[in-house]
Every structure is written in C-alpha cells, then in structure tokens.
Amino acid sequence: MKVKVNQENCIGCGLCVSSAEDLFEFNDEGISVVKVDTVPEDKQDEAKEAIENCPVAAIEEV
C-alpha cells in the first residue's frame, strides 16, 4: 500500500509522526510527510492506524 498526507489538511499534531515514526516525519514547516514510497508489509497496520487516528483525516491510502 501507499499513503499520502494532504499537506493542506495536516495541522501538525504529531500523532502519526510519534506513532509510526518509520512512515511519517515533519517537514521544515511542521507538517507531516510520508517517508516511504511503499509502506512495508510489517508497517501496514501502523499506516492504517495512522489513517484512522488522524484528527483531521489528512492521511489517505493512494
């Protein structure tokens, strides 16, 4: 699977960055970006949780 963060929606709360640090990181503007092209098999649960838990639904599967 692949995921992306909608940069316009992200409020920089840090939830995805702290709960799935192998997948997300902050850019220089404090907005989350996806670190990987394809989510590794063993990180897919983390990615799905991040999608579900983002308070502004900024993360989506693509």
- Which residues lie near ligand SF4 (CB under 6 A)? 5, 10-17, 32, 54-56, 58-59
The C-alpha atoms of residue 47 and residue 37 are separated, in whole angstroms, by 13
Query: What would the two tokens of residue 43 be?
Result: 């990180």
Query: What would the two tokens of residue 62 be?
Result: 């693509």
Q: How far is the CB of 59 from ligand SF4 (least distance, A)?
A: 5
Q: How far is the CB of 45 from ligand SF4 (least distance, A)?
A: 16
**CB-nearer residue toward ligand SF4: 15 or 44:** 15
Beta bridge partners of 34: 24
Q: How far is the CB of 42 from ligand SF4 (least distance, A)?
A: 20
The C-alpha atoms of residue 22 and residue 43 are separated, in whole angstroms, by 8
